[in-house]
Structure 1
Amino acid sequence: MKTNLFACTAGLFLLFFTFSSAFAVDGTAILQQVDRKMQPESYELYRKLINIEPDGTSKEFVLYTVKKGQNKMVALFLSPASEKGRATLRLDDNMWLYIPNVGKPIRITSLQSVVGGVFNNADILRLDFSVEYTVQHIKEEGDRYILNLKAKSSAVAYDSLTMMVDKATLLPTTIECYAASGMLIKTLRYSNIKDFGDGIVSPSVLETDSPLYKGYKSVMVYAKMQKKELADEVFTLNYLPKVDGLR
């Protein structure tokens, strides 16, 4: 009798475990869906970057941006006049800054910032999250998923991320960015979901602040995001002086 009871209990446990595993949330699949909802495979968009100082003064930049695949991005400065014509290129973990009238593009790093403020180059030239991070853990909490992400290499700007994702939209609402020491570097907050057309529905405002820069805030506003076919030639150092011709 005891043997039959044990066998029955073990069978129920195995059935429950199999059922639970079959319906477990796949964190990697969720992250990949977040990437595709945030930005198409190949696209163009305009962005306004606003750096706000503790005294309330601000400085604005307007950028035209194109991206192709998971590892290619170019951003061209349209304003202010002092920055017009500058362009940045990202290929995988490699980044360059092109300045008109300077001999050749110069190498830049992910943690530097071509605009100052709280956004760094990795934020401005962001690749898909699933390219740079693996999902270590995911849990459900009310109407959101919480993903704990770990950088795939030391070249990534942040060692780990805690990403809050809205279940209904599969779009991130908040991302906390951490250093390898566990120190919070900055918090990214997405808002104002917008229908850009052609099936693109994504946050149009990104704000960030950092405990390392108390009183400072940076805002990125997205406009005119649309799918666009782009040649590989666009994402080369030689093409940087001609990026404006894509508009």
Structure 2
Amino acid sequence: MTENGHDALGLRGRRVLVTGAASGIGKATALLLARLGADLVVTDVAPLADTETQALKCGVKVTGRPGDLADEGFLQSLSSEPDLFAFANCAAVFSRDGWRADLSPQDRFDLLMRINVRAPLVLGNALVDRFGERGGGYVVLVGSAAGRNGGGIAGGTPMDYAASKGGVHTLVRSLSRRGVARNVLVNGVAPGPVDTPLAQGLPFAPSALPLGRMGRAEEIAWPIAFLCSPAASYVSGAVLDVNGGAFVG
């Protein structure tokens, strides 16, 4: 079964790897891809049962790969998944509200960078090569408007998170240069504040945003799905701002 009963983006039967698929943008992306007919490999450090159950109702194949993106061995294992057509990196961590209070500030910073920057770098590099060997593919990395402006939209955005997302935008451009010669199209999406668990408790008023509200995870999922699909066959190296006008550059 596909969205509106047809293969809207040419994804039916295509196998897509989605990280951060247990909640938020990652879950919304995985479920939209399933509705569009894509088979899924979903991963997260959090439980994936609900994502898997909902996706299976769409009549697609779903492979759950629970694991930690800070684990180098797990990254290598993910990049070896067979028959992948596209990769959507939606996973990220946000260093606030006591996140990993058991670690020193330096170790927290290092862990955040391993998950937010090193994981998409390792997976992106490996999959650009693998996709190229198979004739092409699609890579989408989720950045953030905070990576554009240092977190000025929501003043409580941690500096390390903003810096990590700026790094993701740079990865998009660097990987796109590697990928384009291999017919692998690498792009990014830069959301603003989105109504997900990651954004809960940010000290700003949604009414202050240009559209007067936060985004919905599904509103970010559609551009990601587009960039994972043959519909985006002439897009490479772009970071698409999907933030309701909160950043205009």
The normalised TM-score by structure 2 is 0.27
Structure having the higher strand fraction is: 1
* Higher normalized helix content (fraction of residues): 2
TM-score if structure 1 supplies the norm length?
0.28
Greater Rg by CA: 1
